[in-house]
Structure 1
Amino acid sequence: MDGKEGGTGAAPVEFADYLGMPLVEGLTFVNNSLRGAGLRHRVKIGASGKLVSSFRILKMLALGADWANSARGYMFAVGCIQGQACHTNNCPVGVATQDPLRQRALNVPDKSARVARFHANTLHAIAEMTGTAGLSHPIDFLPHHLIMRESDRDIVTGQEIWPYLPNGFLLRDEQEQFGYLDRWKRSCAESYEPFDAHIFDQKATGM
């Protein structure tokens, strides 16, 4: 899944500011919804959206992603300056353009070496942090490995903020504090539109 933070930077401002769901919230929702429906073991989740650092990649794995797609850092390594002209064919550094003249700004031998180094260092940092946490594989990260500061005095674990909810809890009609069951009951297999009986009745009667 893609968080609203992702994209080329050339999206309309209103879209970038207001549409979509941030990656952390979206990933948590998808992971727990699949767990609640008893389907998590049958669906793989990929996560992307402004993932540049190794830590951000590991955080997404901890929150439920099976893999993470990181593009922005590689774009920077190849020379992107976020000119927000991707859709105009006038990229000033030759990265996102079909214009032969502008493409000359992209030095492929030099930039390819930079991308390779960025990739190697990203994987090295992931391996170091995985070992430091006492884990043997990055996919072993879980929410409780994340420690978040809430105030000057208080810290909480990721499990308190982004918990993995029990498998099958939606099918068992188990109420929980995060509102998943309410959303589940409002959903409809025939439509992506949230179903609310009260609002539906108002629309149907014109009241």
Structure 2
Amino acid sequence: MRQRALVVPDKAERVFNFHHSTLHALKEIIQAAGLKHPAELRAHHIVRRVSSHEVRLMSDLLKYLDPNDLLNGNYRYTLYEKYWPMAQSDSFAPKVELAAT
């Protein structure tokens, strides 16, 4: 039913306008940060409101690891300690350990 209701030329124009607006907004963010290219954008350039009266740099909110930390078992954060062992290189599905019976 939805597929029949889709008007491709109309949708194409709306997608084009959305994409154009997104690129324009990105350009404004990059310029406001004093950067020349989006590849230069880092977490310390972005501020996030965490409550009605507090903002914090994303670089303070994100959990960073050093190169090879996960491969060497240096998880540093509970988040990685819990989920990294479930990762599989050949699938997005988590590896589930079956409990011994």
- Residue 200 of structure 1 pairs with residue 91 of structure 2: no
Equivalent runs, 1:96-111 vs 2, <5 Å = 96-97=3-4, 106=7, 108=9
Asked whether the equivalents of residues 87 and 95 of structure 2 are also in contact (C-alpha less than 8 Å), the reply is yes
Rounded to whole Å, the distance in 1 between the matches of 2:23 and 2:58 is 23
Structure-2-length-normalised TM-score: 0.66
Instruction: Provide Cα deviations, 1:58-106, integer angstroms capped at 9, x if missing partner.
Output: xxxxxxxxxxxxxxxxxxxxxxxxxxxxxxxx23xxxx22xxxx56xx3
In structure 2, runs of 5+ residues without a counterpart are none
Any idea what SS the aligned residue of 1:156 has? strand
Distance 1:178 1:134, change over 3 A: farther
Q: Please point out which of 24, 28, 34 is paired with 1:134.
A: 34
- Residue 163 of structure 1 pairs with residue 63 of structure 2: yes
Equivalent runs, 1:57-136 vs 2, <5 Å = 90-91=1-2, 96-97=3-4, 106=7, 108=9, 112-136=12-36
Rounded to whole Å, the distance in 1 between the matches of 2:25 and 2:14 is 16
Equivalent runs, 1:33-48 vs 2, <5 Å = none
Rounded to whole Å, the distance in 1 between the matches of 2:71 and 2:35 is 33
Tell me the amino acid that sits aligned with residue 149 of structure 1: R
Any idea what SS the aligned residue of 2:99 has? helix
Distance 1:139 1:145, change over 3 A: same
For 1:146, the equivalent position in structure 2 comes to 46
Any idea what SS the aligned residue of 2:72 has? coil
Rounded to whole Å, the distance in 2 between the matches of 1:166 and 1:154 is 28
Q: Which has the higher contact order (CA 8 A, sep 6+)?
A: 1
Tell me the amino acid that sits aligned with residue 193 of structure 1: K
Structure-1-length-normalised TM-score: 0.38
- Residue 173 of structure 1 pairs with residue 92 of structure 2: no
